[in-house]
């Protein structure tokens, strides 16, 4: 299922965009949505970075909600507090969850 962001909502970059000198977590506002067919990724036009009067186009996979960015940051803070042995245990558990997710997606 595609995530569709409403126009004029704030989003954050999910990855760096070096061609614009923008970094993951930079925040912008959606000013245009380009719906695509079901098997293709939607596009968005973003404005409001530290680049006045500049609009950039991105694919849906290049942006995340502000809430998701905040959740990821909280998780990273907690990860930094774990010992190396706990991190290894967590990595094993995450691998297990990812395998489970993939198998559920195949059966859906």
For 12-41, write each residue's pLDDT tens digit.
999 999 998 899 999 999 999 999 998 899
Prediction pTM value = 0.76
pLDDT at residue 1 tops 70: no
11 C-beta neighbours (distance < 10 Å), count:
22
Burial class (CB in 10 A: 0-12, 13-18, 19+), 59: middle
At 98, is the pLDDT very low, low, confident or very high (cuts 50, 70, 90)? very high
Cβ atoms of 57 and 33 within 8 Å: the answer is: no
pLDDT at residue 48 tops 90: no
Residue 105 pLDDT: 85
Give, in order, the Cα–Cα distances in Å from 62 to each of 42, 45, 80, 104, 106: 10, 11, 25, 25, 24
């Amino acid at each position: 299922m595609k995530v569709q962001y409403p126009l004029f909502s704030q989003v954050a970059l999910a990855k760096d965009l070096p061609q614009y000198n923008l970094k993951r977590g930079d925040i912008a506002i959606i000013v245009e949505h380009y719906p695509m067919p079901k098997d293709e990724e939607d596009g968005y036009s973003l404005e409001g970075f530290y680049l006045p009067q500049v609009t950039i186009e991105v694919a849906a996979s290049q942006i995340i909600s502000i809430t998701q960015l905040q959740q990821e940051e909280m998780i990273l803070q907690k990860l930094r507090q774990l010992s190396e042995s706990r991190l290894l245990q967590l990595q094993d558990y995450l691998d297990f969850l990812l395998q489970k997710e993939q198998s559920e997606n195949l059966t859906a």
